[in-house]
Chains A and B, each alone.
Chain A
């Protein structure tokens, strides 16, 4: 295989870096509260990609994929899946967080007839 095109850990880490940058920029630039929630989802996804990538490459977890010809054949090792477990809990917590956040936004919209976070300044000082 062309070594230029062999996918390694840092490729996935680079993708998740771009994803977390986009998520932080989204959180900071949106005035729509749901847009901010979407940015948080991007950051959580970047964390999940990191967990699974480290689980796959740095910790030797996961069986060799039929798509990627890497791994040492003939050595059955029990895969370690702790990174994947963390990613599963991230997904669960993200779903719970989205549900609570949307309930809060609905409440806010019922009270202020707007979803603009700039209007949510009644608790200041």
Chain B
């Protein structure tokens, strides 16, 4: 059974939380779909920035503060910069536009909407309320993540470390300039 504690006067921000959620969700959904319909790759990068920032806000709403910070640092600060550098290195003019045929856009958006509709159907036909089990805890879950990374998740952690090393070497090897013969 969902346990909804009564709102107390000590938490004035709780009044704002739903509006915050709708603001973040609106930013995420609008910029994600604007990304689908934009043709300019630089604008797509900006829409991706907005989407990733909104997702970080959603992580904040879900009490995953550490994850939100990671999202902002790694995604917005790292992956997005990587993508922007990729854009700059792979186009001769900054306003490169690759025209897509109208029926291709229609087909792609149709498939996306179909999958979305299927998921929404699954969502509304599943009873999620019985599984909502909210429990309280301390604010120690950043420490818990650190402990879990070195105990229960040690093997995935090490595998991820090796993966990152391999990726770093492999990407640098693949992207290097070929030596002239």
**Interface size of B in residues (CB-CB distance below 8 Å):** 102
Q: Tell whether, in the assembled complex, residue B135 and residue A99 are in contact, meaning their CB atoms are under 8 Å apart.
A: no
Q: Tell whether, in the assembled complex, residue A18 and residue B29 are in contact, meaning their CB atoms are under 8 Å apart.
A: yes
Q: Tell whether, in the assembled complex, residue B86 and residue A105 are in contact, meaning their CB atoms are under 8 Å apart.
A: yes
Q: Tell whether, in the assembled complex, residue B20 and residue A37 are in contact, meaning their CB atoms are under 8 Å apart.
A: no
Q: What sequence of 0s and 1s flags, for each residue 57-68 of chain A, a beta carbon within 8 Å of any chain B beta carbon?
A: 111111111111
Q: What sequence of 0s and 1s flags, for each residue 109-136 of chain B, a beta carbon within 8 Å of any chain A beta carbon?
A: 1011101100110011000110111111
Question: Could you say which of B45, B83, B113, B129 contacts A25, with CB atoms under 8 Å apart?
Answer: B113
CB distance from B21 to the nearest CB of A (A): 5
Q: Chain A binding site: helix, strand, loop or mixed by DSSP?
A: helix
CB distance from B145 to the nearest CB of A (A): 6
| Chain A residues near B79 (CB-CB < 8 A) | 41, 94-95, 98
Question: Could you say which of B21, B138, B178 contacts A110, with CB atoms under 8 Å apart?
Answer: B178
Question: Could you say which of B45, B62, B74, B91 contacts A56, with CB atoms under 8 Å apart?
Answer: B62
Known A17-B119, A29-B109, A85-B153; contact A107-B128, beta-carbon cutoff 8 A? no
CB distance from A19 to the nearest CB of B (A): 5
Per the bound structure, the CA–CA distance linking A20 and B122 in Å amounts to 14
CB distance from A8 to the nearest CB of B (A): 7
Question: Could you say which of B11, B44, B61, B148 contacts A69, with CB atoms under 8 Å apart?
Answer: B11
Residue of B nearest to A23 (CB): B32
Q: Tell whether, in the assembled complex, residue B100 and residue A67 are in contact, meaning their CB atoms are under 8 Å apart.
A: no
Per the bound structure, the CA–CA distance linking A102 and B167 in Å amounts to 11
Per the bound structure, the CA–CA distance linking A75 and B133 in Å amounts to 13
| Chain A residues near B78 (CB-CB < 8 A) | 95
Q: Tell whether, in the assembled complex, residue A26 and residue B141 are in contact, meaning their CB atoms are under 8 Å apart.
A: no
**Interface size of A in residues (CB-CB distance below 8 Å):** 92
CB distance from A101 to the nearest CB of B (A): 8
Per the bound structure, the CA–CA distance linking A5 and B14 in Å amounts to 11
Q: Tell whether, in the assembled complex, residue A66 and residue B170 are in contact, meaning their CB atoms are under 8 Å apart.
A: no
| Chain A residues near B149 (CB-CB < 8 A) | 85
| Chain A residues near B164 (CB-CB < 8 A) | 92, 95-96
Per the bound structure, the CA–CA distance linking A78 and B5 in Å amounts to 18
Q: Tell whether, in the assembled complex, residue A63 and residue B139 are in contact, meaning their CB atoms are under 8 Å apart.
A: yes
Interface residues of B (CB under 8 A from A): 2-8, 11, 13-21, 25, 28-29, 32-33, 35-36, 41, 44-45, 48, 51-52, 55, 58-64, 66-67, 70-71, 74-75, 78-79, 82-83, 85-87, 89-91, 96, 98-100, 104-105, 107-109, 111-113, 115-116, 119-120, 123-124, 128-129, 131-141, 144-145, 148-149, 153, 156, 160, 163-164, 167-168, 170-172, 174-175, 178
A75-B135, A105-B86 known; 17 new pairs, CB 8 Å cut-off, are A8-B129, A10-B128, A20-B119, A22-B29, A25-B113, A30-B98, A31-B100, A48-B67, A48-B71, A57-B134, A63-B138, A72-B3, A74-B136, A91-B67, A91-B74, A106-B90, A115-B91
